[in-house]
Chains A and B, each alone.
Chain A
């Protein structure tokens, strides 16, 4: 018996030590202690403040892009084999396009010479092996991606967006950010982004580049000064937009100058894919700033060809549908260059960020956003702690008054339970959120209940005239199955909540499950050991303080 008790005591002490180390580490000073505590017990966004965004990747963009590239490839190969057609275009996108359109995208090629039908078929099977060719009539054809390639493409688009957004967010220098797939992979095209400490979601969204697809394109040589509006431009162009060119508005700067519209090439010279790196720096003259960049080999070749032909002309850096910068080409640029004469460091940094961020394979749209200011979070924590402590004091007092010495037992078990729970949160690198705290409250409720169940049972047994030792023993044994049933039922429900719920509901389930497992340990194992230890020193006839 004594030996058994020692083993139990050792297990308990080791557990407590592990838990305490998990929560506060091994502090050497008071500041150290607070530091460790803050580091180990992470607070969720709802308590600490920060932004939570869900963005949808417009996968139809990626599918459309693939279609356009395929057309280009087919066209090049067809020219070599002297196969011609009247028109080739990507169809199936509604206005405005939605992710569901991705499944309907098709390439329609019209007016292929019927005499070259078999050559055309060969061409498609070698140049566009991922597409299935359907004959519409003797001269027209439709090409669709195979289902497996389509779903692969969509997955890649989402993954690409996750990678790019992660890069951009790392640029922000915020700790503990997370970017992950949201919902079902392959069915939902959404990304969950968590930015602790950033409550200015407008800025965050700008950095993430909600709609950012980067391209660099030439500005029309004849019209390289900005128009004041689309109407102004159309009037000056005589009502006709030149072939392969489009009108793009410059992003308004702070200070609010007049609108500026530029006529630029519809086909970009290079895109974000070609960009290797970019960084901001001081300009050659004081108080000027610049952004230097390097391109990929392939991008460098394309850029060199274009800039060599267009020295003295202007280039526009376009982020999605906004021009963020217009620069004059001073010389032929191969794989590295710089944009000079920027007015502030902020402008240079932002431009570098845009260039560096790479290109999103598809646009992303914010579909959910929640930003909690740090002030609101701080208030909630404060009030939560005050009321939590008030509640706990009331519980402890009531337990001590009602169960006297045995109440001490319950209180110890309760405190230990909380310690184990916090340690588990720390070891699992989970964050404490409001719903998580709900889980903690239910845990404490059930911990109190377990103790009450056991104590009431012991009292009952004592009433039937059993000796102290026998009463404690029977009390624990009888309460055991009740505790198992209540706990397992709750854990079963938590498993379902975790499987089918999301975000906050999951946080609740995790905290509660950990708490309940801890409770079985503290309320039954620890509490019983203390009882046994107390009783081991005396004879069975002495009354128990319960």
Chain B
């Protein structure tokens, strides 16, 4: 089966609509970022305290907010995360404005205790089974079990507690509403069950994630991720410049930059958060886009060896056409994987797969419509400067074909022995 056989589309002739589309998308993204007062950072980069809580029933956001406001210092925001496979989950967050690490640490403890006071049974003296650690539960059950006449070694007790918490965490997403859910736990019997019900209660919520990012760390994390990416781009530029020509390196890096910029813009437009996993996705898309660009550049280089009389634009067009089949195949297949991740990957991977879905589309077209035109523009410009053609105007970017200013593949080769392997 073959989809594309000896195609001959004039890709570079149609570059302008795509370049304009790229500009529009970039500007729209940037405008959105500026208008919204910066990017929306995910929990990893946000300075402040945050807990994610899963409730047994649809949570009453207002009640949570009111309870929090009474006790927690500073602003409190409660955001409902439900939807997209997530059920009854809220994110409660306090801003770090002017707070030191110490206040933030205290805030987290307060947030937990407010939840217990509002939704739990703080006065009962019982242990909340939905929000406890193995150690706490072991200590809690040891004596009562002995009193109830359930003979158990320390080892058996540890194993039992491990199974109980394991059951709650892996099969009930950390939250059970009925002790009967624990009947299937290995080693469970009526004596243990009775003791468990005497000593513990089930609060209708479970704290999923807790996060605290101090002012020193949040800024540092953002900075480090940014600089690592910039250095990586610079490293790629140098390598490509070494293997091809510097303008190829620049073209490829600008294309990657363009992809990242548009994707980040889309994140702002769609109100999505930039988290550490999204950064990983952005790095993935840089790698992907770079790969795509190099395949085309490589083919251009190869073609230049044999075609001395053709214009550079024609050589590029041929290279894009020759690699079209592989471009569609690879992009298509990678896209399939990413789409699967986007649809079924769940909330944690949502931002990640969204970035890749955007990135693959943009990364594929940027190789053809951003990276290649940059190389072409530069050679047109260099050529026009080297031999100013009498009677014809300076080589405008809109008229790269046919005119006397159009670079010959031959002139390119002279200037770049490195381009031939």
* Contact residue among B3, B85, B174, B291 (Cβ-Cβ distance under 8 Å from A375): B174
Give the distance in Å from the alpha carbon of A482 to the alpha carbon of B291 in the complex: 9
Chain A residue at minimum C-beta to C-beta distance from B165: A374
* Contact residue among A201, A399, A489, A495 (Cβ-Cβ distance under 8 Å from B210): A201
Contacts of A449 in B (CB 8 A): 291, 295, 326, 330, 334
Contacts of B281 in A (CB 8 A): 438
* Chain B binder among A162-170, A354-362, A385-393: A385-393
Would you call B287 an interface residue if the criterion is a C-beta within 8 Å of the partner chain's C-beta atoms? yes
Give the distance in Å from the alpha carbon of A402 to the alpha carbon of B329 in the complex: 9
B302, chain A: closest CB distance, angstroms = 7
Give the distance in Å from the alpha carbon of A402 to the alpha carbon of B3 in the complex: 9
Contacts of B101 in A (CB 8 A): 56, 365-367
A304, chain B: closest CB distance, angstroms = 34
* Chain A binder among B188-196, B211-219, B368-376, B401-409: B211-219
Contacts of B302 in A (CB 8 A): 478
| Complex contact A372–B421 (CB within 8 A) | no
Would you call B345 an interface residue if the criterion is a C-beta within 8 Å of the partner chain's C-beta atoms? yes
Would you call B280 an interface residue if the criterion is a C-beta within 8 Å of the partner chain's C-beta atoms? yes
| Residues 204-246 (chain B) with a chain A CB within 8 angstroms | 206-214, 216-217, 220-221, 224-225, 227-229, 231-236, 238-240, 243
| Complex contact B336–A391 (CB within 8 A) | yes
* Contact residue among A203, A391, A404 (Cβ-Cβ distance under 8 Å from B136): A203
* Contact residue among A210, A388, A501, A503 (Cβ-Cβ distance under 8 Å from B341): A388
Chain B residue at minimum C-beta to C-beta distance from A396: B333
B284, chain A: closest CB distance, angstroms = 5
| Complex contact A445–B288 (CB within 8 A) | yes
Give the distance in Å from the alpha carbon of A303 to the alpha carbon of B393 in the complex: 96
| Complex contact A442–B346 (CB within 8 A) | no
| Complex contact A505–B228 (CB within 8 A) | yes
Contacts of B213 in A (CB 8 A): 368-369
Interface size class of B (residues with CB under 8 A): 35 or more
Chain A residue at minimum C-beta to C-beta distance from B89: A376
Chain B residue at minimum C-beta to C-beta distance from A504: B276
| Complex contact A375–B287 (CB within 8 A) | no
| Complex contact A379–B173 (CB within 8 A) | yes
Contacts of A49 in B (CB 8 A): 169
Would you call A497 an interface residue if the criterion is a C-beta within 8 Å of the partner chain's C-beta atoms? yes
| Complex contact B277–A438 (CB within 8 A) | yes
* Chain A binder among B7-15, B59-67, B104-112, B261-269: B104-112
| Also in contact, A508 and B283, with CB within 8 A (given A370-B44, A376-B209, A488-B239) | yes
Chain B residue at minimum C-beta to C-beta distance from A446: B291
Contacts of B341 in A (CB 8 A): 384, 387-388, 391, 441
Contacts of B333 in A (CB 8 A): 394-395, 398-399, 445, 448, 452
* Contact residue among B233, B240, B330, B345 (Cβ-Cβ distance under 8 Å from A448): B330
Contacts of B283 in A (CB 8 A): 438, 497, 505, 508
Give the distance in Å from the alpha carbon of A199 to the alpha carbon of B203 in the complex: 17
| Residues 398-455 (chain A) with a chain B CB within 8 angstroms | 398-399, 401-402, 404, 434-435, 438-439, 441-442, 444-446, 448-449, 452-453
Give the distance in Å from the alpha carbon of A449 to the alpha carbon of B175 in the complex: 44
| Complex contact B170–A493 (CB within 8 A) | no
Give the distance in Å from the alpha carbon of A486 to the alpha carbon of B294 in the complex: 6
| Complex contact A202–B112 (CB within 8 A) | yes
| Also in contact, A384 and B235, with CB within 8 A (given A370-B44, A478-B302) | no
| Complex contact B227–A500 (CB within 8 A) | yes
Give the distance in Å from the alpha carbon of A434 to the alpha carbon of B225 in the complex: 16
Chain B residue at minimum C-beta to C-beta distance from A487: B291
B245, chain A: closest CB distance, angstroms = 13
Would you call A485 an interface residue if the criterion is a C-beta within 8 Å of the partner chain's C-beta atoms? yes
B101, chain A: closest CB distance, angstroms = 5
| Complex contact A387–B343 (CB within 8 A) | yes
Would you call A233 an interface residue if the criterion is a C-beta within 8 Å of the partner chain's C-beta atoms? no
Would you call A373 an interface residue if the criterion is a C-beta within 8 Å of the partner chain's C-beta atoms? yes
Give the distance in Å from the alpha carbon of A388 to the alpha carbon of B214 in the complex: 35
Convert B270-307 into 0s and 1s, putting 1 for each residue whose CB lies closer than 8 angstroms to a CB of A.
00000011011101101110110011011100100000
| Complex contact B336–A434 (CB within 8 A) | no
Contacts of A463 in B (CB 8 A): 5-6
A11, chain B: closest CB distance, angstroms = 27
A109, chain B: closest CB distance, angstroms = 32
The B interface is mostly helix, strand or loop, or mixed, namely helix
| Complex contact A373–B326 (CB within 8 A) | no
* Contact residue among B139, B224, B240 (Cβ-Cβ distance under 8 Å from A489): B240
| Complex contact B344–A383 (CB within 8 A) | yes
Give the distance in Å from the alpha carbon of A81 to the alpha carbon of B373 in the complex: 85
* Contact residue among A365, A380, A505 (Cβ-Cβ distance under 8 Å from B280): A505
A116, chain B: closest CB distance, angstroms = 44
Chain B residue at minimum C-beta to C-beta distance from A383: B346
Contacts of B234 in A (CB 8 A): 496
Chain A residue at minimum C-beta to C-beta distance from B329: A452
| Complex contact A435–B277 (CB within 8 A) | yes
Would you call A502 an interface residue if the criterion is a C-beta within 8 Å of the partner chain's C-beta atoms? yes
A483, chain B: closest CB distance, angstroms = 9
A92, chain B: closest CB distance, angstroms = 20
| Residues 324-378 (chain A) with a chain B CB within 8 angstroms | 344-346, 365-376, 378
B91, chain A: closest CB distance, angstroms = 12
Contacts of B413 in A (CB 8 A): none
Of the listed residues A46, A172, A371, A444, the one surrounded by the most CB atoms of chain B closer than 10 A to its CB is A371
| Complex contact B212–A366 (CB within 8 A) | yes
Would you call A26 an interface residue if the criterion is a C-beta within 8 Å of the partner chain's C-beta atoms? no
Chain B residue at minimum C-beta to C-beta distance from A96: B100
Contacts of A193 in B (CB 8 A): none
Give the distance in Å from the alpha carbon of A495 to the alpha carbon of B233 in the complex: 11
Would you call A224 an interface residue if the criterion is a C-beta within 8 Å of the partner chain's C-beta atoms? no
Give the distance in Å from the alpha carbon of A202 to the alpha carbon of B346 in the complex: 27
Chain B residue at minimum C-beta to C-beta distance from A369: B212
| Complex contact B290–A490 (CB within 8 A) | yes
* Contact residue among A202, A205, A382, A496 (Cβ-Cβ distance under 8 Å from B232): A496
| Residues 336-379 (chain B) with a chain A CB within 8 angstroms | 336-341, 343-346, 348-349, 352, 356
Chain A residue at minimum C-beta to C-beta distance from B136: A203
| Also in contact, A497 and B326, with CB within 8 A (given A485-B243, A492-B236) | no
* Contact residue among B211, B227, B345 (Cβ-Cβ distance under 8 Å from A371): B211
| Complex contact A493–B287 (CB within 8 A) | yes
Would you call A456 an interface residue if the criterion is a C-beta within 8 Å of the partner chain's C-beta atoms? yes
| Complex contact B206–A375 (CB within 8 A) | yes
Query: Contacts A375-B174, A434-B352, A489-B236 given; 13 further ones with Cβ under 8 A?
Result: A200-B131, A372-B208, A375-B54, A375-B173, A376-B348, A382-B346, A398-B329, A402-B329, A449-B330, A456-B326, A493-B286, A494-B232, A505-B228
A-B contact pairs, 8 of them (CB 8 A): A202-B108, A203-B135, A375-B172, A375-B175, A446-B291, A490-B291, A493-B236, A502-B224
Top 9 A-B residue pairs of the complex, sorted by shortest distance between their CB atoms: A375-B174, A391-B337, A383-B346, A435-B280, A501-B228, A367-B214, A391-B340, A387-B344, A493-B232
